[in-house]
């Protein structure tokens, strides 16, 4: 379970994306190259997609501070996955 305590949807996406990246990378580092499952293929493809969008995996609070205090897309104070 991953828990993100924020009212900012961009911060939550960055945190969850980074966590997913870390978990997939860890999984792929611990699997045998000879025995690639469908999940391994999915993990590798997803990791490649996430790696192509590093700006989505980081949250810059200074950039966000120029926006409104409350993001209308984020009404939850905590997101659980």
Total residue count of the chain as it appears in this document:
81
Q: Has residue 53 been placed in a domain?
A: yes
Q: Are 13 and 56 in contact (CB under 8 A)?
A: yes
Whether this model's pTM surpasses 0.95: no
3 membership: H or E segment, kind and range? strand 3-4
* Gap between the Cα atoms of 58 and 42, Å rounded: 23
pLDDT per position as a tens digit, 8-60: 998 998 999 999 999 999 999 998 877 779 999 999 999 999 999 888 888 77
Residue 76 in domain: no
Specify the number of domains making up the chain: 1
Residue 69 forms part of a structural domain: no
Q: Which domain holds residue 14?
A: 3-59
């Amino acid at each position: 379970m991953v828990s993100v305590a924020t009212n900012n949807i961009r911060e939550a996406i960055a945190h969850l994306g980074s966590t997913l990246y870390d978990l997939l990378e860890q999984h792929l580092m611990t699997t045998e190259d000879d025995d690639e499952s469908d999940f391994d293929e999915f993990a590798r493809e997803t990791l490649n997609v996430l790696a192509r969008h590093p700006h989505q995996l980081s949250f810059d609070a200074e950039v966000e501070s120029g926006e409104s205090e409350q993001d209308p897309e984020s009404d939850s104070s905590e997101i659980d996955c």
